């Protein structure tokens, strides 16, 4: 695994939050009446069993021998039925997998129960620390027919007990209902008080996987947000996990953009609200740099990069928090974009497996970051791949860390990438043409495959990204 050359420690700050008590929320009414059953393909028993075995090995992260998905050709006319059958097998495999699950939803209140996930141990200064993450998981309002929006709230870096309780109160107070809140408490303090560190990445991917399996959560309406240290964390995670999110809302924060490339937020609603007088660690300046970057991207690519970035006059580190989540809740995820911009970068040394429909397979080990630009027009896919280097052009006069960068993009000359395809992206009944950096690397009629769909399921664990086609292309 490549190690990051650019990891900058998040800045350790205190948040003073005194939200009012949550107003009473009516209990959830009965779920909507069952809809017409979805078409479900009848699978051969051996195929079902082999797929369960593949899923079980993938969930357990078995590496030797690596699990292999079974092969089975698909017909385009039957794809919906096969997708439904695949997702049902995935549900069954996750249910059988031994792990701490999401608990039953509780009404958000002062007396709601808390729960715990035990995460992989965290490392600091050569020592290993258990990572025990308490959390609240609750709802408010009547369940929408498509499921609840899900908000992940990340607290600030004061004493973690009161900060966590503030998050529970915010969950009831903010006018974003009906909604579900996942409110975690940071497992460890000191230098491990960062929401983007490796052990916490395990938690967020588990949360996304289990939420997308839940009938309670709308897969098009997942949002990450937080305050202060939670603002730093949610800004980083917004860029890193943008393909799962409808929106993200850091507050009272501001990251150097090397930690949160704006390009990745092309299809999400992004809010960043900071006090105009919040100059500790240059949060005000970093918020302005982020605003400038979003405006530049939006001018270059009209219709994309929706944002609500504000330096609030007269306020310091404490700001009005209420506007963020109602603004986010207006927006839905774009699961199948035909225009993708992705800077593939490590967070705490960990790279994403893939992003939207792209999965890097091989890259030069001496290059840390790559930038992918995908444009789909009809059945032609233009893909540009570049390496990325950063040069600092503005440093903190007080604390010495780099605040603003210029990027250099150099066309990549070697590597291998997997391009996943689906009927939402191209017409799979016709030939597909793919160019990488201007050179044609594929022109043929793609074949639909159960094996590919199973692999995409374990890569993205997303009901909206069960891809039946994968093209592995060298460049």
* Ranges under pLDDT 50 in the chain: 1-26, 29-30
Tokens of residue 394, six digits: 């503005």
Q: How many CB atoms lie within 10 A of CB 326?
A: 12
Look at residue 13 in the predicted model and tell me its pLDDT: 38
Q: Domain limits of the chain?
A: 45-96, 106-328, 339-474
Look at residue 35 in the predicted model and tell me its pLDDT: 65
Closest to 370 (Cα-Cα) out of 417, 336, 324: 417
Look at residue 27 in the predicted model and tell me its pLDDT: 56
Which residues of 256-379 form beta strands (DSSP E)? 269-275, 307-312, 339-344, 358-362, 370-377
Look at residue 451 in the predicted model and tell me its pLDDT: 98
* Axis-axis angle for helices 79-96, 450-460 (nearest 10): 50
CB burial of 303-322 (b: ≥16 within 10 Å; e: otherwise) equals ebbbbbbbbbeebbbebebe
Look at residue 24 in the predicted model and tell me its pLDDT: 44
Contact 250, 234 (CB under 8 A): yes
User: In this predicted model, what pLDDT tens digit does every residue of 310-356 receive, in sequence order?
Assistant: 999 999 999 999 999 999 999 999 999 999 999 999 999 999 999 99
Look at residue 21 in the predicted model and tell me its pLDDT: 38
Look at residue 102 in the predicted model and tell me its pLDDT: 98
The neighbouring-strand residues paired with 293 are none
Cα(317)–Cα(354) distance, integer angstroms: 36
* Ramachandran quadrant class, 126 (left: phi over 0; alpha: psi -120 to 50; beta: rest): left
Look at residue 382 in the predicted model and tell me its pLDDT: 98
DSSP 358-416: EEEEE--TT---EEEEEEEETTEEEEEEEEEEEEEEEE-TTT--EEEEEEEEEE--S-E
The neighbouring-strand residues paired with 395 are 402
- 34-39 long-range contacts (CB < 8 A, ≥24 apart) are 38/80, 38/81, 38/84, 39/80, 39/81, 39/84
CA torsion, points 318, 320, 324, 325, in degrees to nearest 10?
110
Superfamily of domain 106-328: Alpha/Beta hydrolase fold, catalytic domain (3.40.50.1820)
User: In this predicted model, what pLDDT tens digit does every residue of 223-273 receive, in sequence order?
Assistant: 999 999 999 999 999 999 999 999 999 999 999 999 999 999 999 999 999
CB burial of 194-210 (b: ≥16 within 10 Å; e: otherwise) equals bbbbbbbbbbbbbbbbb
Kindly state the greatest CA–CA separation across the chain. 67
Strands 217-227 and 402-411: unpaired
* Axis-axis angle for helices 45-59, 450-460 (nearest 10): 30
Look at residue 6 in the predicted model and tell me its pLDDT: 33
Q: How many CB atoms lie within 10 A of CB 51?
A: 25
């Amino acid at each position: 695994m490549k190690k990051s050359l650019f990891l900058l420690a998040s800045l350790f700050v205190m948040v003073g939050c005194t939200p009012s008590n949550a107003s009473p929320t009516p209990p959830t009414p009965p779920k909507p009446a069952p809809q017409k059953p979805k078409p479900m393909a009848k699978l051969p028993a051996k195929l079902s069993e082999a797929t369960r075995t593949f899923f079980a090995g993938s969930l357990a992260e078995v590496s030797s021998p690596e699990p292999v998905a079974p092969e089975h050709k698909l017909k385009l006319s039957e794809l919906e039925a096969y997708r439904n059958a695949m997702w049902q097998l995935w549900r069954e495999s996750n249910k059988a997998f031994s792990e701490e699950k999401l608990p039953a939803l509780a009404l958000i209140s002062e007396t709601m129960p808390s729960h715990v996930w035990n995460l992989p141990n965290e490392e600091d200064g050569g020592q290993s620390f258990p990572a025990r993450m308490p959390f609240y998981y609750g709802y408010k309002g009547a369940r929408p027919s498509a499921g609840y929006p899900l908000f992940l709230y990340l607290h600030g870096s004061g004493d973690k007990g009161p900060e966590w309780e503030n998050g529970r109160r915010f969950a009831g107070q903010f006018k974003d209902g009906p909604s579900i809140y996942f409110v975690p408490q940071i497992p460890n303090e000191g230098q491990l008080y960062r929401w983007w560190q490796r052990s916490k990445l395990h938690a967020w991917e588990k949360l996304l996987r289990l939420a997308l399996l839940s009938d309670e959560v709308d897969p098009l309406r997942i949002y990450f947000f937080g305050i202060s240290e939670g603002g730093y964390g949610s800004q980083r995670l917004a860029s890193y996990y943008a393909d799962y999110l409808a929106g993200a809302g850091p507050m009272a924060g501001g990251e150097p953009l090397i930690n949160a490339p704006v390009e990745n937020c092309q299809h999400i609603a992004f809010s960043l609200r900071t006090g105009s007088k919040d100059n500790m660690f240059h949060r005000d300046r970093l918020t302005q740099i982020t605003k400038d970057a979003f405006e530049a991207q939006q001018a270059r690519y009209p219709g994309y990069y929706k944002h609500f970035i504000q330096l609030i006059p007269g306020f310091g580190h404490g700001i009005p928090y209420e506007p963020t989540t109602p603004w986010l809740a207006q927006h839905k995820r774009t699961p199948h974009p035909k225009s993708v911009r992705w800077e593939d970068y490590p967070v705490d040394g960990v790279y994403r497996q893939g992003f939207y429909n792209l999965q890097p397979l091989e890259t030069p080990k001496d290059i840390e970051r790559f930038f992918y630009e995908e444009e789909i027009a009809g059945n032609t896919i233009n893909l540009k791949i570049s390496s990325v280097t950063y040069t600092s052009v503005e440093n903190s006069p007080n604390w010495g860390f780099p605040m603003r960068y210029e990027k250099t993009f150099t066309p990549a000359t070697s590597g291998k990438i997997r391009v996943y395809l689906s009927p939402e992206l191209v017409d799979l009944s016709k030939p597909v043409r793919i160019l990488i950096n201007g050179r044609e690397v594929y022109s043929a009629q793609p074949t639909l495959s159960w094996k590919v769909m199973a692999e995409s399921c374990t890569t993205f664990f997303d009901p909206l990204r069960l891809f039946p086609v994968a093209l592995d292309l060298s460049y």
